[in-house]
Each structure stands twice: as structure tokens, then as C-alpha cells.
């Protein structure tokens, strides 16, 4: 059973920078895992932010960026805004199927 692990929770101050990571139980995450990132606020559907490691959708704010960092997929928020408080999920590809991470609850305080 493949497990994708994210930090359960992180706290960041407004205007600060925070990096969320996404690790695979199978080993280092590479571009071949097509890492994607999603934001979900309470009571809302998820919203796509990043695909294929670092590509942004047309609606993705510039302060969000995706990368590979130390064998993990990473989502960095620079200049965090209060409205960025949400749950963030990564999604990885495993040769014919995909698996979501458990999510990171980001608190802006």
C-alpha cells in the first residue's frame, strides 16, 4: 500500500514564507510522479494550484510555487495572505494510479 505523507499542520505568519512537502513511501519523488497540489477551504471543493511539479494554472496566485526538494515534492507560499489558510493536498502518480497525501492544515496566525 503506497503512502503519501504530508505535514499534518503548519503555522505561518502573514507575509511570511512556508514550504509544504509531499513524500512517497516508495522513495524519492521525481518529476515522473507528476506532483500536483490542491487547496481546499472548509465547505468548499478543492482548487487546483500546481501540476507536473511546478506548472501553475492561469488562476494560481504568483506567491504559490512548486518544486522538488530533498526527494520530496514541495509547495512554497511566499508572502502568505490570511486567505491562504486552508488544507493543502498533494497528488502523486504511481504507474497507472494516483494517490493523495493526507493533507496539511495551514494556519495563518
Partner 1 sequence: EVQLVQSGAEVKKPGESLKISCQGFGYSFTSHWIGWVRQMPGKGLEWMGIIYPGDSDTIYSPSFQGQVTFSADNSISTAYLHWISLKASDTAMYYCARSLTGDRWSIDLWGRGTLVTVSS
Number of residues that bind partner 1 (CB under 8 A): 24
> Can you read off the three cell numbers belonging to residue 90?
498533494
Q: Provide φ and ψ at 14, rounded to 5°.
A: -55, 135
CB of 97 to partner 1, least distance (A): 5
Separation CA 67–CA 46 (nearest Å): 20
Cα end-to-end distance, the chain, whole Å: 36
Site for partner 1 (CB under 8 A): which residue of 12, 101, 106, 108? Answer: 101
Q: Is 93 in the site for partner 1 (CB under 8 A)?
A: yes
Separation CA 89–CA 108 (nearest Å): 17
Nearer to partner 1, 59 or 70 (CB): 59
CB of 48 to partner 1, least distance (A): 5
- Fill in the per-residue mask, 42 to 81: x = in contact with partner 1 (CB under 8 A), - = not in contact: ---xxxx--xx--x-x------------------------
The answer to whether the beta carbons of residues 32 and 52 sit under 8 Å apart is: no
The answer to whether the beta carbons of residues 72 and 4 sit under 8 Å apart is: no
Residues at the site binding partner 1, with contacts judged by CB under 8 A = 34, 36, 38, 40, 45-48, 51-52, 55, 57, 87, 89, 91, 93, 96-103
Amino acid at each position: 500500500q503506497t503512502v503519501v505523507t504530508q505535514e499534518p499542520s503548519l503555522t505561518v505568519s502573514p507575509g511570511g514564507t512556508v514550504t509544504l512537502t509531499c513524500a512517497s513511501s516508495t522513495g524519492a519523488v521525481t518529476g515522473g510522479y507528476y506532483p500536483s497540489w490542491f487547496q481546499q477551504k472548509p465547505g468548499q471543493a478543492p482548487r487546483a494550484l500546481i501540476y507536473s511539479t511546478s506548472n501553475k494554472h492561469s488562476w494560481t496566485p504568483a506567491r504559490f510555487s512548486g518544486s522538488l526538494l530533498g526527494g520530496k515534492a514541495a509547495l512554497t507560499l511566499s508572502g502568505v495572505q490570511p486567505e491562504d489558510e486552508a488544507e493543502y493536498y498533494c497528488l502523486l502518480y504511481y504507474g497507472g494510479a494516483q494517490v493523495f497525501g493526507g493533507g496539511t492544515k495551514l494556519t495563518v496566525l
